[in-house]
Chain A
């Protein structure tokens, strides 16, 4: 009776699993990746795996053979031997030999991974709570890369897309076939920049730079995540790398620089409240909503509310409001955004905070006023 209920429970679970596995992706193994290093790592992984499997089969077959044949209920009488120097020597020395055989290819691969010389492209990767900044050395190009998944997907209000949590607003774009050196560092806590397809994983440590490199063989979009616990939104700072051909890379560089120049130029023109609000909402979602929340209510006591707060509504506190956004607040998670956002974005987000969620102050912060605050002596 009992057994029957057990097995029917098992059947129900199996059926449940079957139904979800309709669109299942039961990926079992490490990716082979798209670089020479990632392929040698994959082959190391498979070698050591099969060695383990062979040892396991050998040891466990002896054990289960003994369990079946040398059981008391089968009439087995216990022997009394308890040592055998030859056997003990063999099972000490043979594993050592296997390990030496394993250590050789591992060492070769490791030396290869540590050789960062002769790079063609140098990119500084900086971890922030909770986004990545990419700076192309010698190119005067720098931008932030934020999670772009819709919060409604995270909170199960709409269906999740196939790149759920693995999508960003501005991917890192790199050329294929070139040796790319990553200089990894952090702005606050320790992060770890990981793209499985390249087998690149490097800890980002505040104050220090770590380096790693890759040479990508194929055009494609490669996704990774932060691998080191870095606080609340550790699970929400993905990495997306777009590997393109040399020509496309040159085009992209020119394009990207032009759009940054356009953004700077846009600071000079007059912005209406509606325009600033529209832009500000986007900036707020990407940069502020993680802590202050989409509705501006914050998370007490670590992340204060902006909705109906003195700082975002009182006219006499406008300067203070701008100052905190620009300079951050020491000892808290509030970062200094002066260097992270453009003057337009800063003006837009502050305007948004002063007018959204019923704050309705009607205040317009212009990009020009932000610029003059940044540069004033």
Chain B
């Protein structure tokens, strides 16, 4: 509490600094550390999955536990790792990039963070409950997740509620900060793209997280209070659940990728030493992706028996999304063209992002073709697709951001050699893991199965080896972070030669309080 009173002082000492802090940098760091922890927990579950899939047959785990692992892996990675990591980056960087002294609602900020450990403690505790953890997939389709769910489903619902509240509060905070706290001379069209993409993401969060909350509330009342939203016997409809879920779920996908677009749009110009190509079109492309994301949800449900007209509408709308996404990729390439490039770790991650995310985008376009989706749907091709957009997409952008801004956060340069090791191991590991999944998916391997027929054996072995390489490579990142926090070459205020923006005007490490008087924006 003392730090809140005497705001010219530095941080409080000991545990109270972290429990009661209202400082955006402290909270940002806590979000980032929390998400890294979740990344490892979710990742080890992925390794359990890959271990079982090394060869045909059941050897490591039983099917029921396997289903718990796929479910928890998905939930933890989406709600525990990727989303909090972006919120952490927003906390750290948005005030610095718009010249604000802190987030607009600092106490709310503290509250939003501290909801998360409780939410995920509750979710993880279901693993030791009678009947096991949720085992109905991260998409928790009814009635598997209602009538047929293990007793722990109630804890799962409550955990989703808590994580959802945390996200919504975080989003409100980001919107108010960006709209009201910018330095007076920073107009909307002068905002860095990371800020822009986060503003749009925050609006998406406010729009769809409440729908998710409503959906799990309906599940709760179906399970415990005798309603029949999703039970055909009582006049409900299990397909309604899928509509509600994907009405949230598709914008959610963009929630996890728009901030990544922002990060890449910061990093590519810096290391190309050239302004971002097509700033305005980037803003418009991001906004149109966000708007279109509300009109495409049923492309996740092409096989549930949607009428022909609906099927065609959702196919066309989905195909249309590739246009603004393509514009972004073209803009990044045009930014590199005729630049003066160097390839430090953040740039390597950014380039890998562009290439691999584009591959994920292509498979997404293929999946949009509804007739073809009848063959792709619920196979490993889909698993390959969304891991290509989420791992080298969301996760690589977070890694890129961490390397890019770590010197600003710690005041020390990270170990470039280790950083590059981390990059190359991750790059090789993830392609080994996820690329063969395209092949087994096309050859007919359904997703979410603990055992498979023998023709899929070879590629699955490759995937598993790649998975372990990718998983253990992330330990290098921990080493880099620890080394960087402890010491290293001192970082300048402007860490990177081509870096532009307000965050580089403050010294490295960024002092506990920054921009107490608004800076001047050119």
Contacts and interface: CB of A to CB of B under 8 A. Distances in A.
A233 B366 contact: no
Contact of B341 (A45, A60, A71): A71
Given A29-B443, A70-B337, A234-B449, A106 B369 contact: yes
A302 B130 CA distance: 9
A44 interface: yes
A118 interface: no
A20 B458 contact: yes
Contacts of A199: 371, 374-375
B185 interface: no
Contact of A109 (B144, B371, B462): B371
Contacts of A156: 57-59
Interface stretch (B20-28, B212-220, B277-285, B391-399): B277-285
A164 interface: yes
B57 A192 contact: no
A284 interface: no
Given A20-B457, A156-B57, A164-B453, A45 B378 contact: no
Interface in B449-481: 449-455, 457-459, 461-462, 465
Interface in A15-51: 17, 20-21, 24-31, 37-38, 40-41, 44-45, 48-49
Interface in A225-245: 225-236
Contacts of B454: 25, 160, 162, 164
A373 interface: no
B336 to A, nearest CB: 5
Nearest to A211: B305
B252 to A, nearest CB: 19
Contacts of A96: 323
Contact of A76 (B341, B354, B375): B341
Interface string B409-453: 000000000000000000000000000000100111011111111
Interface string A231-267: 1111110000000000000000000000000000000
A137 interface: no
Contact of B143 (A26, A77, A206): A206
A1 to B, nearest CB: 14
A62 B439 CA distance: 28
A66 B337 contact: yes
A91 B330 contact: yes
Contact of B374 (A41, A49, A81): A41
A63 to B, nearest CB: 5
Interface in A136-173: 153-156, 160, 162-166
Is the contact region of chain A dominated by helix, strand, or loop, or is it mixed? mixed
Contacts of A319: none
Contacts of A59: 329-330, 333, 358
A256 to B, nearest CB: 27
B296 to A, nearest CB: 14
Contacts of A95: 322-323, 326
A92 B232 CA distance: 45
Contacts of B131: 301-302
Given A103-B315, A224-B444, A80 B274 contact: yes
B319 interface: yes
B326 A48 contact: no
Contacts of A205: 232, 238-239, 304-305
Contacts of A201: 303, 374-375, 377-378
A206 B340 contact: no
B57 A154 contact: yes
B336 A67 contact: yes
B359 interface: yes
Interface string A289-309: 000000000010110000000
B278 A190 contact: no
A270 interface: no
A72 interface: yes
Interface stretch (A82-90, A335-343, A363-371): A82-90
Contacts of A224: 444
A155 B238 contact: no
B67 interface: yes
Contact of B238 (A160, A163, A196, A206): A206
A132 interface: no
A156 B454 CA distance: 12
B339 interface: yes
A102 interface: yes
Contact of A91 (B147, B327, B355): B327
Contacts of B448: 229, 234-235
B233 interface: yes
B342 A25 contact: no
A328 B271 CA distance: 66
Which of A45, A111, A155, A162: most chain B Cβ within 10 A?
A45
A166 B312 CA distance: 33
- Chain A: interface size category: 35 or more
Contacts of B63: 232-236
Interface in B279-333: 279-281, 303-305, 308, 311-312, 315-316, 319-320, 322-323, 326-327, 329-330, 333
A99 B323 contact: yes
A52 B458 contact: no
A226 B452 CA distance: 12
A30 B57 contact: no
A21 B458 contact: yes
A162 B455 CA distance: 8
A62 B322 contact: no
Interface in B325-373: 326-327, 329-330, 333-343, 351, 354-355, 358-359, 362, 365-366, 369-372
Contact of A154 (B67, B338, B451): B451
A310 interface: no
B366 to A, nearest CB: 5
Contact of A106 (B58, B359, B370, B379): B370
A188 interface: yes
Nearest to B440: A27
Contacts of A99: 319-320, 322-323
Contacts of B374: 41, 113, 199-201
Interface centre among A106, A188, A196, A333 (most CB of B within 10 A): A106
Contacts of A229: 67, 136-137, 141, 144, 447-448
Contacts of B459: 26
B512 interface: no
A80 to B, nearest CB: 6
Nearest to A207: B232
Interface in B121-137: 130-131, 135-137
Contacts of B358: 56, 59-60
B418 to A, nearest CB: 12
A134 interface: no
B305 A165 contact: no
B509 interface: no
A190 B273 contact: no
B272 interface: yes
A194 interface: yes
A72 B342 contact: yes
A181 interface: no
A202 interface: yes
Contacts of A76: 338-341
Contact of A79 (B274, B312, B342): B274
21 contacts: A30-B443, A48-B369, A59-B330, A59-B358, A62-B333, A67-B341, A72-B273, A72-B340, A102-B319, A110-B315, A165-B56, A188-B148, A189-B144, A196-B444, A201-B374, A202-B303, A203-B305, A205-B232, A231-B136, A235-B63, A235-B446
Given A38-B375, A82-B276, 16 more contacts: A25-B458, A28-B439, A45-B372, A56-B358, A66-B337, A76-B341, A79-B274, A80-B274, A87-B334, A103-B315, A106-B371, A201-B377, A210-B304, A232-B64, A232-B135, A234-B67
> A-B pairs with the 5 shortest C-beta distances?
A207-B232, A235-B449, A27-B443, A210-B305, A52-B362
